Structure 1
Amino acid sequence: MRGFGDLEAVLMDRLWNRDDDATTVRELFDELVAERDIAYTTVMSTMDNLHRKGWLARDRAGRAYRYWPTVTREEHSAQLMHEALGVGGRSDLVLNFFVDRISDDEFAGLRAALRRVATRRTEAS
């Protein structure tokens, strides 16, 4: 399954929390260096790796790049869930075990999502 490394996850979390604002390496580095011992080049190469993997888009802004996520946090979570269904054995059993472990509120949210999708699919046919 394809998730993020530790630093990748930290950077993506901060980018997702910015509500569609593009960010430079320097801006993220300045935030992170206040909390941990990290090199600017480490942040830069990690953001470049995320760009090469397709998780970040970027535009040139003077001599720097401004980066932003290509998917939302929720889209990424859905992709991970879809991958888990594909590699986790029988998908019907995986779903059954998953549903057995979610809270009542999560179950209600899942039920509502299924109704919305079913309505959209019915309207599309």
Structure 2
Amino acid sequence: MASLGELERAVMDVLWAARQPCTARDVQETLAARELATTTVLTVLGRLERKGLVARTKDGRAHRYRARATREDHIAELMRDALEGAPDRGAALARFFGGMPPDEQAALRDLLR
């Protein structure tokens, strides 16, 4: 799975936080501080759709966009992809675990039980 650029991540954050599918204008208004053109938002949404991260449905003359998976699902997929590329998965997992704060280590231990 491809990693996200800064603007793609910002758009995905909007979609992940939304309670319902969004139009490009909805995304643009949420990211108003960035002063993005609607065409820029549409370009990013199209890129995310091609990457399989966003689904688009027609709504009158506009389209509505939604994330195909949750943020947590996306992160889990990135982690699986990273592990698949590791020649020694055990060592990679050990370093990942060792770099976690103690409270997160404890939470992971609880999940594994």
Shared fold (TM-score greater than 0.5)? yes
Q: 1:10 — aligned with what?
A: 10
Instruction: Provide structure 1 residue ranges, at least 5 long, that are not aligned to the other structure.
Output: 116-125
Give the match for residue 77 of structure 2: 79
The Cα of 1:89 is off from its aligned counterpart by: 2.9
Code of the residue aligned with 1:102 in structure 2: it is M
2:55 is the alignment partner of 1:91: no
SS of residue paired to 2:33:
coil
Deviation at 1:88, TM superposition (A): 2.9
Deviation at 1:39, TM superposition (A): 1.4
Matches within 5 A, 1:104-119: 104-115=102-113
Runs of 4 or more above 6 Å deviation: none
Provide the secondary structure at the position in 2 that maps to 1:35: helix
| Larger Rg computed on CA atoms | 1
Percent of pairs identical after alignment? 41
Gapped runs of 5+ residues in structure 2?
none
- TM-score relative to the length of structure 1: 0.84
Normalization by structure 2: what TM-score? 0.92
Partner residue in 2 for 1:31: 30
1:83, distance to aligned residue in structure 2 (A): 1.0
Partners of 1:96 and 1:31 in 2: CA distance: 39
In structure 2, give the amino acid aligned to 1:59.
T
Displacement of 1:31 in angstroms is: 2.3
